Structures are given as structure tokens and as C-alpha cells.
Amino acid sequence: MEFNLLINAIIAGLLLGGFYAAVTAGISISFGMLDIVNIAHPAFIILGSYIAYIVNVNLGIDPIIVSILVLPAFYFLGAIVYQVYYQAFEKRGQESLRGLAFFFGLLFVTEVSLILVFGVDYRYVEAAYIGPSIHIGLIDLPLRMLVPCLAALAMFTVLQLFVTRTFIGRAVMAVSQDQLALRLMAVDPIRIKRIAFGISIATAAVAGALLVVIQPVEPSVGREYIGRVFAICVLGGLGSMPGTLIAAMLLGVIESLTSTFYGPSWAPAVAFGFLLLTLAFRPAGLLGR
Amino acid sequence: MNTTTFSFIATAVGLIVLAFAHWLGIDYFFFAGYTILQFIVLATAWNILGGYCGYVNFGSAAFFGLGAYSSVFMHNFFPMPVPILIVIGAVVSGIVGFGMGYLTLRLRGAFFAIATLALAVVLQTLVVNWQYLGGARGAYILRPENIAIAGIQVTYIEYLFVLMLALAVIALTTARTIERSRLGFGFATIRDDEVAAEASGVPTLRVKLIATTLSGAFMGMAGAPFPYYIGYVQPSSAFGLEYAVNSIAMPMIGGTTSWIGPLVGAVLLGSAQQYATVTISSAVNLLIVGLMLVAFVIIAPNGLVGLVQEHLRGRRRP
């Protein structure tokens, strides 16, 4: 029986990890590749959750489809945020103090605005795959977790292909390493960064929809994800997509084991311990260069 | 003006404020004044690390809550007078500040910021799971109605007000002393160019650790009397995000380069919030603080003090 519990905890952790990978993908781009410490990312994720929720409740459209429909809107939102960030901080070399404060302000303003509009009640969505689960022998696969995990992996694959196979994707990788070389190839680094930041915010729309499928959402849930996403991003080796995926799976399994054997109220502390240990012993990440 | 003169003047101003408040004798004035003074301490503490060294601490709420909960612990374990609790809160928060700094400050600055952001969530989780401290239900602290200071009977809220006033005077004096000392120049070199500072022989890690420890200790001091002030603490109020955002917004809006910025920011924003909480609602006033923070960092990077300085300089030039 104990073995059964262990196996299911690990499976649940892997499914959770897939979802964490989707949540972290945006941070891997903005923090890992562009060196923009976007601590407001979780707020954009919650915004995505609420949009999925509103459309789902009013029109009955599947939350994941909603998130794909709003991708362009999130992309433009991200591009605008980057433009403001660039003009106000990056250009003046003030990103370390005031840029961080700016993102912190965004995080806070988004959260408080959502509280003012929706209150602090938990919101949830309706979809056919929320509820049933597949049983294979000892293993339980709740569809509520399996579908987000698969969607996350699909998004992750697309992003990985984008950064490794397309010109703009490679330019994004290049902008983090050598801006001058990029300029010499007649590419505007600011434009590339704007595009990349837009994409990173666009992933938040999908991650938000997946989040609201997995668990009911209220405005301050985002804060619990700050520790998680940065822990995963750093352990994954800052901007390495495969590294991020492995780190996300690892954190998912550790959290799942903790909540199965010690109780779910301890789960938020796990990510932080994970982050501190990573920073103390392996700051270059698992697959770090 | 040297440090001794300044500390005399600061103490004198503190005594005048106290005499005025005592003469008014309105309990609400003590309640509101306590909150504003608490924000002066928090903002000054934040600025020692954020403004002088250029390292952002998002975990003010964590250090504040740590101070508050160390008082709750001592209240259950072995009740002691509040001034001693303030010292204990300072020690606990200072140690945590040192530990956080030691683990993350050797790396890039952003990691420290991220770690402090996560620290509040973790400490809150810890307290929620710790039944001795009241857990998620919260803890009641019964405080006496009156207390005698130096033979004079005063209400307990006035007593807390006096303590917080003293803390504010100490915090401001410390901040101003640091600004003009060798240590302060060390801080400034780190803020301006850390690599150059290291190369010129500034022991950057040690200097940064002094800053995180001091800053954490002052935040803990601000939090320690909180359970006695509020009478009932729960994790979500002691670790509330409003402490984190206010202690960043106040120095940023006031100006981060000198001790006067956090003071100006805390007095203005603190009184405005007291007013708005009574007349509008507390959620709306937090939204306003957040928006002001974003607006100030974009438009007026040197805060109100910076704006005034620019204005004066502009006038002097014909």
C-alpha cells in the first residue's frame, strides 16, 4: 500500500512538473535569456487565469482554447511592458534597483486590481476533463492534471523548436550573449528583446489557463509561484529549455512527495528551500554552462 | 552638523512630537501616529540596503513578521517587557538577514531580491504550521490598559507610541551616521560600481552583509511591538504584502539617496494612507500606493527630494 502511494505521488509530481515547466517557460526567456528580472510574471499568469475563467463562465469555451485565442493580446501587452522598461530603465542603466521596483509595482497593482474587481473568492472553470481519471493498474492519472501537463509539454516543444530552428529564435539566444555581434548582422537587439519579452508574456496566458484547470484561483495565488518559477529557472541553468523541463519535473516530484507524506500546507516552503540550496551549491544550474 | 548634534536635535524633535501628542491626549492620534512611525522605521531600514547599497529587499514583510512572531513566541514562552522584545526581534531578524545575505549576495544582485521575495511565503508557511504560535487561526495578545513610565501613568497605546518614536529617532540617526561614515562610502561604491569597488579594496561581501544585517534588524524592531499594538496577530496580517510594498514605495517616492527621503516618503504616504483607509477603503489605498510607486520610478527616479533639489539648482542658475 505504501509503495502504491509512493508511485502515485511520483506520477502526480511528474504531471505537476510538466505544468511548472509551462509556468517557468516565460521566466526562462525573460530572466534566463534577456536578463530582465520580471518578478511580475506570476501576476500575468493570474491575469491569464482570470481571462480564461471569465470567458469559460460566460461563453462556455474551453479554458485552454481561450488562452490560445488571447495569445496575441498578451504578446502585445508584453511588448508594451518591455518598451516602457527599456525607455525608463534599461537605456539609463537603472534596471537593477528601479527596474525591479517597477516590476514589483506591476505585480502589486495587478493583484490589488484583481482583488478589487473579483474579490478574494476562489474561482474555478468547467471542462469535460475536470473530474474523471484514467486507471492503469496501480496508477491513477487524473485528467485534470494530465491534460495541462500534455498542453504544457506541447507549448514547451514549440518554444524549443522556435529558439533553436528559426532565425528570430536564434537571434533571441544571441541577444543574451553578444549584442554587438547581433548589431553587426543588421539585427536590432531592442526589437529582438521586445519580441522575446512579448513571447514570454504570451506563455503566461497559456500557463494561467492551465493553472485554473488544475486548481481554483484567487488573486494572491501568484505569489506562491514566484519562489517556484525562479527556483526552477535557476536550477535549470538560466535559459536552457531542456534544463528548465528537468528542473520543473524534479521540483514537481519533491513537492508532491512532501505534500503526500507531510501534508500540503508545507508545499510552498519546499520551493524556497530548493531555491536556497540551488543558489548556495549549484548557482550555474543542473545543465549550466 | 556632526552626529552628536544631529542626535540631540532628532531627540528634541521626538520629545516635542511626544509632548504635543500627550497634550492632545487623543487615543486615535497615538494609533495613527504609531503606524506612521512604524513606517518611518521600515522605510529607513529598507533604505540602508536598498538606497545606499542598491540591493532590493522585497522581504520587508518577512523581517517585520519575524519580529512580530518572535514577540508572540516570547509572550507564550516567557513574558517580558516590550523593550526587551524589541531587542530580541532585532537579533532574530538580524540573524536571518545575515543568513539570507550570506547565501545569496555572493551571486548577482537579482538573486538576493528573488530570495527575499520567496522568504515571506516560506516564513508564513512555517508560522501557519506552527500551532504554538497560533497557526493559521492567529494569536491573541492581552495587553494591560495602563502602564507606568518613570512614575507617570499612561495608556498602553501611548507607551507603544513612545517606544516606536524612540525607534524612529534611533533608526534615522543610524542612517544619517552611516551616510557620512567610511561604511557609508563603502555602501555607495557598491551601489555605483561593485566590480570597481572590489578592485579598489572595498571588502564588498562584508560590507553588504553589514547592510543586510542592520536593515533586517531594524525591520525586526519595527515588527516586535506589533502584536501588542494590534492585540491579535494572524500570519496574513503580520506577513502582509502591504509592508513590503510600503517599505519600498516610501523611500522610492521620498528619494533614496539620503536619510531624509524615507522620512518624507513615510510621513506623506503614511498619513495619506491613514486618511484614505478611514475615508475610502484599504484595498483602494494600496492600489494607489502601487500606482504611485510605478509612476515615481518611471518619471521621478530620485523621488521628491530629487525633484526639490533639481528645482533649487534650476533657480540658482540664472
Predicted local distance difference test score (pLDDT) of residue A96? 72
User: Please, what's the b/e burial string for B263-295 (b: 16 or more CB within 10 A of its CB; e: otherwise)?
Assistant: bbbbbebbeebbebbeeeeeeebbbbbbbbbbe
Q: Which stretches in chain A have pLDDT values below 50?
A: 289
Q: What is the pLDDT of residues A135-177, one digit of tens each?
A: 877 777 888 888 889 999 999 899 989 988 888 888 888 887 7
Q: Do B129 and A37 touch (CB under 8 A)?
A: no
Shortest CB distance from A115 goes to which of B121, B128, B283?
B283
Q: Do B109 and A96 touch (CB under 8 A)?
A: yes
Number of domains in chain B: 1
Is B302 part of a structural domain of the chain? no
CA–CA gap between residue B197 and residue B204 (Å, rounded): 7
Per-10-residue mean pLDDT, chain B, length 318: 81 84 81 91 93 87 92 86 89 92 78 82 85 82 76 80 91 91 90 86 89 94 90 85 87 88 91 81 81 87 85 70
How many CA within 13 A on the CB side of residue B310?
Answer: 9
Predicted local distance difference test score (pLDDT) of residue B68? 92
CA–CA gap between residue A238 and residue A125 (Å, rounded): 33
Q: Kindly report the pTM of this predicted structure.
A: 0.87
Q: Distances from the Cα of A170 to the Cαs of A82, A165, A194, in angstroms?
A: 19, 7, 14
Distance from CA of A278 to the nearest CA of B (A): 10
Is B176 part of a structural domain of the chain? yes
Evaluate the CA torsion angle A246, A251, A252, A258 in order and state its sign: positive
Is B166 part of a structural domain of the chain? yes
Strands (E), chain A: 133-136, 139-142
Using a CB-CB cut-off of 8 Å, the residues of chain B touching A273 are 122
Label the pairing between strands B152-155 and A133-136.
unpaired
A212: left (phi over 0), alpha (psi -120 to 50) or beta: alpha
Q: What are phi and psi of B147, to 5 degrees?
A: -150, 150
CA–CA gap between residue A206 and residue A68 (Å, rounded): 7
Distance from CA of A104 to the nearest CA of B (A): 8
Q: Do A108 and B245 touch (CB under 8 A)?
A: yes
Using a CB-CB cut-off of 8 Å, the residues of chain B touching A112 are 283, 286-287, 290
Shortest CB distance from B54 goes to which of A39, A97, A230?
A97
* Domains of chain A by residue range: 2-281
Predicted local distance difference test score (pLDDT) of residue A1? 56
The H or E element spanning position B139 is: strand B139-140
Predicted local distance difference test score (pLDDT) of residue A177? 78
Predicted local distance difference test score (pLDDT) of residue B317? 55
Shortest CB distance from B103 goes to which of A100, A105, A280?
A280
Q: Could you give the ipTM of this predicted complex?
A: 0.82
Using a CB–CB cutoff of 8 Å, tell me whether A276 touches chain B. Answer: yes
Is B286 part of a structural domain of the chain? no
Predicted local distance difference test score (pLDDT) of residue B316? 61
Q: Distances from the Cα of B85 to the Cαs of A5, B73, B142, B154, B212, in angstroms?
A: 45, 10, 15, 20, 21
Predicted local distance difference test score (pLDDT) of residue A19? 92
Q: What is the pLDDT of residues B201-252, one digit of tens each?
A: 888 889 999 999 999 999 999 999 998 888 888 888 888 888 888 889 999 9
